[in-house]
């Protein structure tokens, strides 16, 4: 395996190995780059640097680092990416959830947008970075070359909403917020019963038919059997209402 170093730069604290003598303030356009590299061993290293100084590191030092060590794998994590009008803005999970539209999709009309409880964007960004670095390590084994990786929290958030984002881009129509329901499928949602909420995942046409059979609504099950997928989506509201009245 070709030896090389990994420098993992982020705008938020990441619990990996942080060298005790390597302070983010020591990395500036004036810093001797060999002195910085000399403090980083062959293990992955995480350095927390806010956006303005991170940009300075990217512009001034990455090429120099690559010359010193061609096997360098450099991964930067930012909120909004390294370019664009918001590139210098700090970000947290809740900020990206709001900016990306994730909170809007998660909410309902009566409450408005709702934040997803766990910090899913933080976790998703970390997974993206880990997978990218793992791929880069494999690539380095074959080629001996390092690579520069750019991961943003906003990119990760949009990935987590891939089907919705791609449909919105294709149609120009944003999905409304349905909360625990599905915007297209009647049998895929949360239904109130006499003593508790019940979550049902009848996603396919056959599953929806079987659901109404189980609810002893044979007539609706027969209607579903005669509908196309497009008709099922169009009649989602009426079909959902029938299921709720039964439950």
Structure tokens at 229: 């997928």
Q: What is the pLDDT of residue 60?
A: 61
Q: What is the pLDDT of residue 17?
A: 34
Structure tokens at 109: 């009309």
Residue 14 DSSP SS3: coil
Q: What is the pLDDT of residue 19?
A: 33
> Which residues are annotated as catalytic?
182
Q: What is the pLDDT of residue 185?
A: 78
Cβ-count burial 32-65 (b if 16+ within 10 Å, e if not):
ebeebbeebeeebbbbebebebbbbbbeebbeeb
State the 10-residue block means of pLDDT for the chain, 247 residues long.
45 34 40 44 53 56 75 85 86 92 84 89 92 92 89 92 86 80 79 86 87 87 82 67 56
Q: Containing H/E element for 224?
A: helix 218-226
Q: What is the pLDDT of residue 138?
A: 93
């Amino acid at each position: 395996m070709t030896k090389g170093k990994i420098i993992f730069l982020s705008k938020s604290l990441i619990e990996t190995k942080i060298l005790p003598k390597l302070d983010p303030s020591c990395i500036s356009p004036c810093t001797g780059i060999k002195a910085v590299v000399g403090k980083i061993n062959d293990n992955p290293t995480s350095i927390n640097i806010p956006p303005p100084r991170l940009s300075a590191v990217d512009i001034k030092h990455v090429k120099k680092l690559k010359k010193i060590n061609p096997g360098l794998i450099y991964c930067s994590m930012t909120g909004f990416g390294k370019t664009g009008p918001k590139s210098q803005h700090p970000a947290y999970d809740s900020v990206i959830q709001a900016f990306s539209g994730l909170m809007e999709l998660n909410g309902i009309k009566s409450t408005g947008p709702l934040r997803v409880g766990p910090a899913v964007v933080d976790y998703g960004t970390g997974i993206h970075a880990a997978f990218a670095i793992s791929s880069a390590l494999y690539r380095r084994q074959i080629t001996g070359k390092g690579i520069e990786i750019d991961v943003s929290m906003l990119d990760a958030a949009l990935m987590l909403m891939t089907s919705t984002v791609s449909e919105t881009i294709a149609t120009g129509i944003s999905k409304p917020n349905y909360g625990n329901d599905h915007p297209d499928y009647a049998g895929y949602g949360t239904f109130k019963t006499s003593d508790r909420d019940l979550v049902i995942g009848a996603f396919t046409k056959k599953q929806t038919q079987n659901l109404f059979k189980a609810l002893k609504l044979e007539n609706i099950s027969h209607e579903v059997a005669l509908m196309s997928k497009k008709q099922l989506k169009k009649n989602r509201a009426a079909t959902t209402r029938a299921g709720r009245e039964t439950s």
